[in-house]
Amino acid sequence: MDQLQQLKQMTTVVADTGDIDAIRQFQPVDATTNPSLLLKAAQDPKYGQLLQESRDWADQISQDAQLRLIHMSDRFSVLVGREITRLIPGRISTEVDARLSFDTQATAAKARQLIEQYEALGISRDRVLIKIASTWEGIEAGRQLERDGINCNLTLLFSFAQAQACADAGIYLISPFVGRILDWHRKQQPNTDFSSDKDPGVQSVSRIYHYYKTHGYNTVVMGASFRNIGEIQALAGCDRLTISPALMQQLAEDPTRLEQRLNPETGSPDPKQSLDENQFRWAMNEDAMAQEKLAEGIRNFAADQIKLEQLLSQI
């Protein structure tokens, strides 16, 4: 077996793409999308029909120009999600507008609207994960949604404090961003060897994974944002890994043996701790990398959301 096949035996493989052809080729269990991936999809002619359907739907909802673009964008993300669910046995992750990242109630309301659209299309909520940025407000929105039976994927997760808060909130799944953690440390220490187990992103996910397993949390750990297959190989055995088509192709071309690196029986040295809002915010303040990468990620997703809306305005 190639390494992609071997990985699928120990980890649930998720496609980090909105490209339906790539999903069909690599046959992942789940798939994730975000504003950046949707912006790319919207520029591909094969998604023209979905864009037309989105415009027609938005025209019926509102005549206000700005609201119409927001509705059209939401509808496009749901329609792309619908197409993906036809190709995978598991769940599609659909992201809430990053501009709502610091508004708990608006985030929860948007999540419910997206779920309503999926259900109106015949896709049950147990096929969908709502992606929310791992701010304090986002995590609190996730807490509310989980209580209502809407499962969430807390994304843009860079710190142990974010992981602790998500687990305490009963979040279904988290997406710690391996590659972006590495990016920050490489910028700070350009001459340091960050290969394999020395990779700070790999170390972060490993720590979170063992903390969850040791203390009996059910929250799923899904490593994300990989820069190379070495990071993926070092996290083989993690609950889930969301991987781009390019890196899945590299794994599929590698026939060597893949070793399972993460084991749920390995204990965590971190004691169980519940953080209140003040403790969470202080921990984030003390972690320059997490604070900077979270803010940067929200800004970038918001910028791509605006670009998507500008593109949709021309249809």
State CA 200 to chain mean position distance. Answer: 19
How far apart are the C-alpha atoms of 270 and 251, rounded to whole Å?
A: 33
CA–CA distances in Å: residue 91 to residues 44, 147, 148, 189, 214: 23, 19, 18, 38, 26
pLDDT digits (tens, 9 = 90+) for 229-245: 999 999 999 999 999 99
How far apart are the C-alpha atoms of 272 and 164, rounded to whole Å?
A: 9
Q: What angle, rounded to 10 degrees, do the helices at 288-312 and 48-61 form?
A: 90
Residue 302 has pLDDT above 90, yes or no: yes
pLDDT digits (tens, 9 = 90+) for 60-82: 998 899 999 999 999 999 999 99
How far apart are the C-alpha atoms of 174 and 154, rounded to whole Å?
A: 5
What mean pLDDT, rounded, does the chain reach?
A: 97
Residue 315 has pLDDT above 90, yes or no: no
Mean pLDDT across the stretch 169-184? 98
pLDDT at 14: 97
pLDDT at 63: 87
In 3D space, the residue among 310, 315, 311, 308 whose CA is nearest the CA of residue 74 turns out to be 308
Catalytic residue from among 40, 46, 110, 131: 131
Residue 89 has pLDDT above 90, yes or no: yes
Residue 196 has pLDDT above 90, yes or no: no
224: which DSSP letter? B
Show the CA angle centred on residue 142, arms to residues 138 and 148, nearest 5°. 150
Q: Name the percent of the chain in helix, strand, coil, to the closest 5.
A: 60, 10, 30
In 3D space, the residue among 17, 26, 4 whose CA is nearest the CA of residue 258 turns out to be 4
The two structure tokens encoding residue 93 = 């992750």
pLDDT digits (tens, 9 = 90+) for 23-63: 999 999 999 999 999 999 999 999 999 999 999 999 999 88
How far apart are the C-alpha atoms of 259 and 190, rounded to whole Å?
A: 29
Mean pLDDT across the stretch 163-187? 98
The two structure tokens encoding residue 100 = 């709502």
pLDDT digits (tens, 9 = 90+) for 95-127: 999 999 999 999 999 999 999 999 999 999 999
What spatial distance separates the first Cα and last Cα of the chain, rounded to whole Å?
Answer: 46
How far apart are the C-alpha atoms of 113 and 263, rounded to whole Å?
A: 38
Burial degree of 86 (CB within 10 A; 0-12, 13-18, 19+): exposed
Q: How many domains does the chain have?
A: 1
Task: Say which CATH number the domain at 68 has.
Answer: 3.20.20.70
Confirm if 56 and 76 have CB atoms less than 8 A apart.
no
Q: State which residues form the domain around 87.
A: 3-312
pLDDT digits (tens, 9 = 90+) for 132-147: 999 999 999 999 999 9
Q: What angle, rounded to 10 degrees, do the helices at 245-252 and 3-10 form?
A: 110
* In the chain, % of residues over pLDDT 70: 100
| 293 classed as catalytic | no
What secondary structure does DSSP assign to 129-169, as a single string? EEEEE-SHHHHHHHHHHHHTT--EEEEEE-SHHHHHHHHHT
State CA 83 to chain mean position distance. Answer: 18
Mean pLDDT across the stretch 4-22? 96
How far apart are the C-alpha atoms of 291 and 124, rounded to whole Å?
A: 35
Confirm if 309 and 69 have CB atoms less than 8 A apart.
yes
What is the signed CA dihedral for 199, 203, 204, 210, rounded to 10 degrees? 160
Mean pLDDT across the stretch 14-30? 94
